[in-house]
Amino acid sequence: MKNTSMKRFRPLIKILSLVIFIIFIFLPLVQVVFLSTISTVPREGFVEGQFTWINYINIWATPTLRSSILNSITYVMLNIAITVPAALMAAYAFSRYKFIGDKHLFLVFLAFRITPPVVIMLPIFQLFASLNMINSPIGIALAHCLFNLPISIWILQSFMNAIPQELDETSQIDGHTLPSFLIRIFLPLMAPGIGVTVFFCFMFSWVEVVFARILTVTGGKPISMAINSLFGFQTDIGLVMAMTMMSIIPGAIMVYFARHHIAKGFTINQTN
């Protein structure tokens, strides 16, 4: 009887645990959304605690905040445009060819990825200053590539290993050149892996602050630095939360699309 009663309550316990977990995850987000839509500082025509969209209006009305969002988008797009093609070529070499020291070189890439960015902050600054790339979008993108490239190669190689190498040989028999094979056959199969790689590149560049702090001046600050600059003697919490929401929304969209690519990636791994 005791076991029967326990089995009866197990579904209820699972549902209750899930509800508690969801509340725990989304409660801070609910607070962010709520504070972003109320007036939190004295201003003409508004009462503190009043519902309003003024915080979001002020974001687009403030040149520095508006430009920070555009800066972050620029840094992310350049980073993805540089990292993904380079990682695809390197991952294909690691996956399809064997050469002396290939595994050691691959481990060196991964070891560099786990190095804290602050460790190489000074050499990066000196190098970029000598190249006149301080406060340059391409400079920020290249700095991000240093840390995105190793993990991108690792992700893409794992997806490539799931694609049989016999496919390469069959395409050559069918008359495909290597570029033709890569563009028409291989890259479409790699779409899930590319999607996951783009997701990780986006997340690193979007929230990164170390390189943004040392390689940009006031006019080139990304959204993460813009949020940090809003804190002061009298902080407008509503404006901070509105900027926080503006930083969350692109990431949420990326998560939504990446989950489909990850699911497709697992399907590829299972079928091979």
- d(CA 162, CA 96) in angstroms, rounded, equals 11
Check whether 1 has a pLDDT greater than 70.
no
Contact (CB, 8 A) for 225 and 213: yes
Residue reference for tokens 């840390």? 147
Contact (CB, 8 A) for 272 and 265: no
DSSP summary character for residue 41:
S
CB atoms within 10 A of CB 58: 16
- d(CA 135, CA 220) in angstroms, rounded, equals 6
Q: 51-74 pLDDT, tens per residue? A: 889 899 999 888 888 888 888 888
Would you say the pTM of this structure is higher than 0.85?
Answer: no
CATH number of 55-271: 1.10.3720.10
Q: Collect all residues with Cβ–Cβ distance below 8 Å to 238 and sequence separation of at least 6.
A: 35, 36, 37, 38, 39, 40, 41, 54, 55
Contact (CB, 8 A) for 148 and 205: yes
Each domain of the chain, given as residue ranges in start order, spans: 55-271
Q: Which pLDDT belongs to residue 262? A: 61
Q: Which pLDDT belongs to residue 3? A: 55
Between residues 263 and 237, the one the model is more confident about: 237
The mean pLDDT value for 198-211 works out to 84
Residue reference for tokens 């995850």? 25
Q: Which pLDDT belongs to residue 6? A: 56
- d(CA 175, CA 178) in angstroms, rounded, equals 10
- d(CA 141, CA 205) in angstroms, rounded, equals 8
Look up residue 172 and give its amino acid.
Answer: Q
pLDDT over 70 percentage in the chain:
90
The mean pLDDT value for 90-119 works out to 79
The mean pLDDT value for 88-110 works out to 81
Cα-trace Rg, the chain = 24
Contacts of residues 128-134 at CB distance under 8 Å and 24 or more positions apart, as own/partner, are 128/215, 133/215, 134/215, 134/216, 134/217
CB atoms within 10 A of CB 200: 17
Question: C-alpha 137: how far from its chain's center?
Answer: 17
Q: Collect all residues with Cβ–Cβ distance below 8 Å to 110 and sequence separation of at least 6.
A: 150, 151, 154
Q: Collect all residues with Cβ–Cβ distance below 8 Å to 63 and sequence separation of at least 6.
A: none
Q: Which pLDDT belongs to residue 86? A: 92
Q: Which of 113-117, 199-203, 222-226 has the lowest mean pLDDT?
A: 113-117
pLDDT over 90 percentage in the chain:
5
Is the C-alpha dihedral spanning 173, 267, 189, 114 positive or negative? negative
The mean pLDDT value for 94-122 works out to 78
